[in-house]
Amino acid sequence: MHTLLLASLLTFLAACASTPAPPIGPPQVPGQVSSADWEQDMQRFAAADAVTPPPKHALLFIGSSSIRFWDTLATDFPGLPVINRGFGGSEIRDSTWYADRIVVPYAPRQVLIYAGDNDLASGRSPVQLRDDFRRFVARVRHDLPRVKIAYISNKPSPSRAHLLAAQRKANSLIRQDIATMANVQFIDIFTPMLDAQGRPREELFGEDRLHMNPAGYELWTRVVAPYLSADRSIPVTDP
């Protein structure tokens, strides 16, 4: 019996030794980033910067697809230098992870971030969003201690109406946290995007009922404009 078991074990080990190693799979996503695909966006930004270096001390808009698709950003705020570094589908933590590539090198006078509803849709909680934004501020301020930061609130969209309660909670938590921070502002675009019944305004969205149409961006322009820093002399780093 023992001889038979030993023979079987030796046969199994020999088969394992002759079996080729399984192929290497796709890159593993670090815990701090929601998708490895964002590396392609970072390379696209770097290529664009190499061709046309962006202005220093500009207004930097970063975040998810609501920023990426803001094609009229430069003309919506005439006379103000702007940089668009939105990458669709991203979450707050992704902008934190890539801050050394899409925030710090630009030395902006102000950073405006829109991210959050993708986070909630992927299962993150309002408390996690609050904590993620805290980490974003801390990461940016590590290299740019005096830069102004503005958080554009979660937007209500018809396709994600089931997230309205979570969005309200996340917006409230982040707003309360911002009240304790210096040079950080909360921009409420949630409230003006609701109708009289408290539902997302359909006329502000495209066919997918998630991304905004020109009317949606016109509303954002009116709401965001008063928060923009026009003073290019504001130092963003310590001398």
Identify each DSSP E strand in 64-108 by its residue range: 82-86
pLDDT-based confidence at 18, cuts 50/70/90? Answer: very low
What's the CA dihedral at 47, 51, 57, 58 to 10 degrees?
A: -80
Nearest residue to 112 via CA among 138, 144, 151: 151
As a whole number, mean pLDDT of residues 178-205 equals 97
SS3 label, residue 57: coil
Question: Residue 2 pLDDT more than 60?
Answer: no
pLDDT band at 222 (very low <50, low <70, confident <90, very high): very high
In angstroms, the CA 126 to CA 170 distance is 4
Tokens of 229: 């820093």
**pLDDT, position 15:** 45
Quote the pLDDT of residue 36. 87
Q: How confident is the model at residue 232 (pLDDT cuts 50, 70, 90)?
A: low
* Alpha-carbon separation of residue 38 from 64, 70, 90, 93, 116 (angstroms): 11, 18, 8, 12, 16
How far apart (Å, rounded) are the C-alpha atoms in residues 222 and 226? 8
User: Is residue 21's pLDDT more than 80?
Assistant: no
Question: In sequence order, what are the residues at sequence separation of 6 or more whose Cβ sits closer than 8 angstroms to the Cβ of residue 19?
Answer: none
Residue 216 predicted with pLDDT over 50:
yes
